[in-house]
Amino acid sequence: MPVIDVPQPAFMDDEEIAIYADAVGKFFAQHAPEKRVLAWREAGQVEREFWREAGAAGLLGVSVPAEYGGHGGDFRHDMVVLDQQAKHEVEGFASSLHNVIILPYVVRHGTEEQKKKWLPRLVSGDLVSAIAMSEPGVGSDLQNITTTALKDGNGYRLNGSKTFISNGATADFIIVVAKTDPNEGAKGISLMCLETEGAEGFQRGKKLDKIGLDAQDTSELFFDDVFVPAENVLGGVEGRGFYQLMGELPQERLVIAMGAMAGIEKALDTTLDYVKQRKAFGKTIWDFQNTQFVLADLKAKGTAARIFINDCIAKLLKGELDVTTASMAKYWVTELQSEVVDKCLQFHGGWGYINDYPIARMYRDSRISRIYGGSNEIMKMLIARAM
């Protein structure tokens, strides 16, 4: 029995969802065994072929409408992929970024031509996606980005640089946040869709050497007079980028909170198994009252977090998830993840500091949750504004 044992929410009580979950779990077991994931970790990225395998198995674009090559599902199907990936410890495969963050931009904001042009290839895995927001001197303050996309004939010339770009080394479809009118602040921001193959002036920087998430590539990107056709402005009209970004943030931040929740559950289950087997001073670590008290405290907090996350998901499915609630979920659950993983590592003693142990990787990987998707300091600012 898992440490956090919350009844399945009503929105997941669906036979078709259960069948899909079983199929996804079998895919990960067959196509992402430990040996293959280790190779990704050593290479610092997932090979392109795996994306195509995932596409062929129906793991990409699950909630994309069928008329654009998708599977006509909804957010619950995307949740299944995230959940099964976490259960099978499949590192590096940025399914949440591709499925739940980037594809919705095209589905919700793209023109009919853009949807037909890109979605089928994003669903098949022939295109791997990324979104380029952060810049070397600009983190969460998107209104002050310096990357520009200025008009030139029947298109735009893209100039600037981006950093901390997940999938940056492999992506061949990148949504670039740029200023089409540097004098208009938020109203001058547009989302430029760039296919990197044959894009003259586009260059990938080195893969960044991170303290965690070893199997996922994160890179710098450089744009030197890169030509972007006018029809590649997301939505077909410039100046809407900032509002398109803001509209997707609640879902993006909930996804980060969901990932943190999965990390909490995995850390607690792993640690409970460990302390009930590991012996010290003639008894198991579990037999010490301190162990029981600490894990009981974390179980209580984790249970509350799971109930909160499930409520947020229910709101999202009904179109009722607001910025403040999503910010609270992202802030609180990622903070709790850090607390849980730190205390769980402590119970492993010296072995918790050894990378061969899953808890050590959880410790390193979890730290980014409080930074990306808007730092937790930004989350607190957003929460305070609603008070």
DSSP state of 126: S
Closest-CA residue to 375 (of 108, 158, 141, 201): 141
For residue 240, what are the contacts with CB-CB under 8 A and spacing of at least 6? 109, 190, 191, 234
| Amino acid, single-letter form, for residue 154 | N
Tell me which residue of 47, 165, 52, 50 sits closest to 101, measured CA to CA: 165
Torsion angles phi and psi, residue 171, rounded to 5? -65, 140
Nearest to 3 by CA among 286, 240, 239, 219: 286
Instruction: Clarify whether 252 is annotated catalytic.
Output: yes
> Which one from 231, 252, 335, 339 is the annotated catalytic residue?
252
Query: 269: how many CB neighbours lie within 10 A of its CB?
Result: 16
Q: Measure the N-to-C terminal CA separation of the chain; round to a whole number of Å.
A: 39
Distance, CA of 337 to CA of 305 (rounded, Å) = 10
CA distances from 173 to 4, 97, 194, 198 (A): 38, 13, 6, 12
Inter-axis angle of helices 289-317 and 241-275, nearest 10: 150
Enter the tokens of residue 58.
């129906």
C-alpha dist (Å) from residue 168 to 157, 212, 317: 20, 16, 30
Please give the positions annotated as active site: 252
